[in-house]
Structure 1
Amino acid sequence: MPAAALKPKPSNEPLPTQSTAKRPVPLDTPYAPVAKRPLPPGRPREWYVTHNRRLKAMRLAIALLDSGVHQPDQARDETIRSAARLIGVHPPSETTCHMVRALMRYAR
């Protein structure tokens, strides 16, 4: 029996420990809601507002990067608000839009 017949064929499926960064991710599927956990009690109200604003800005920045908007100057307020509709969150304020662009600058 030839030696080539004894070798198993390599699989294109990644091993469970391999990175999935190179796998194509379909962008037309809706985003799955993130499991929410309770926030720590006893903080000032402003802390919760800022915390939630940062989370929203991060989600929007990721959605924009996934959709092909890679430069902060491409992310106008209208573009960010359309990404918010796409992922199913309330339209962001001007402050949140500014924070999204700042996150994109930092990611470069």
Structure 2
Amino acid sequence: MPVPAAALTSESMLFDLPYAPLTKKPLPAGRPREWYITHNRRLKAMRLAIALLDSGVWMPQQAHDNRIRSTAAMIGVHPPSDTTCHMVRALMRYSR
């Protein structure tokens, strides 16, 4: 049963609510094919960067192509290309 917002005080504030993934929506139609490829590559790079950070790889220098590809196999993602591996390291570099 949810707690009414008025009943929450600063001592009893809920921080961890149950995680529910967002519903997927179809991508917009009518864009060039290259846009869809880039969009999906960015999503894949983000997933891989998050998985690497969760596994303790925090520096881009630690994220070699082999480590990124083994992480992809571990989380069930197709092996990334060299371009995607480069994008993963770039995301890790600029998130600081």
- TM-score band by shorter chain is 0.7 to 0.9
The root-mean-square deviation of aligned C-alpha atoms, in Å, is 1.7
How far does residue 107 in structure 1 lie from its aligned partner after superposition? 1.1
C-alpha deviations, 1:34-59, integer Å up to 9, x for none?
Answer: 75321000000000000000000000
Aligned to 2:63: 75
Of structures 1 and 2, the larger Rg is shown by 1
Aligned to 1:105: 93
In the superposition, the TM-score normalised over structure 1's length comes to: 0.69
Aligned to 2:82: 94
Q: Which runs of 5+ in 2 are unaligned?
A: 1-11
Which aligned runs of 4 or more in structure 1 are off by greater than 4 angstroms? none
Percent of aligned positions that are identical: 74
Q: Sort the Cα spacing of 1:88 and 1:98 in 2 relative to 1 into closer, same or farther, 3 A.
A: same
Alignment: residue pair count? 81
In the superposition, the TM-score normalised over structure 2's length comes to: 0.78
C-alpha deviations, 1:53-99, integer Å up to 9, x for none?
Answer: 00000000000000000000000000000110111010000000000
- Does the residue aligned with 1:58 lie in a helix, a strand or coil? helix
Q: Which runs of 5+ in 1 are unaligned?
A: 1-13, 21-32
Q: Find the aligned partners of 1:49 and 1:100 in 2 and give their Cα distance.
A: 16
Q: Which amino acid aligns with 1:97?
A: C
Q: Find the aligned partners of 1:94 and 1:35 in 2 and give their Cα distance.
A: 30
